[in-house]
Amino acid sequence: MPIPRLTHLQYLVVSSLARRAASGRVVRDHLRAAGVRQSGPAFYQLMAGLEDGGLVSGWYEQQVVDGQIIRERHYKILAAGLRAVDESRAFYRRGAPRTGLANA
């Protein structure tokens, strides 16, 4: 079984989106609750990479808050993202392959 293609941060994001689509703010709150501290630009670079990789899709929604128009980015998982989450879960459930290094 090949090593999963998702990093730990990517897995946290994509697996949270497997439950439901969410705004960038909600995804960042999820990461923060898991102990991840990232700047806004680093977070959106992570999300752009997931979009470029075809794992998630993003779009903007507008709302008016106190007379100001706010554009908020939202994300949903795509089929490739679901497959990547499933592959990662299967890999870690199965355990690391035995390489003989433990006996070295």
Domain hosting residue 13, numbered range:
8-94
Kindly state whether residue 73 falls inside one of the protein's structural domains: yes
Structural domains of the chain, count: 1
Predicted confidence (pLDDT) at residue 87 exceeds the cutoff of 80: yes
**What is the value of pTM for the model shown?**
0.83
Question: What per-residue confidence (pLDDT) applies to 96?
Answer: 59
Kindly state whether residue 41 falls inside one of the protein's structural domains: yes
d(CA 58, CA 22): 10
The two structure tokens encoding residue 42: 């680093």
Instruction: For strands 68-77 and 56-65, give the pairing.
Output: antiparallel
Predicted confidence (pLDDT) at residue 69 exceeds the cutoff of 90: yes
Strands (E), the chain: 22-23, 56-65, 68-77
- pLDDT, tens only, 89-101: 998 888 756 665 5
In the sheet that 22-23 helps form, which strands lie side by side, from edge to edge? Answer: 22-23, 68-77, 56-65
Kindly state whether residue 101 falls inside one of the protein's structural domains: no
- pLDDT, tens only, 3-42: 888 999 999 999 999 999 999 999 999 999 999 988 889 9
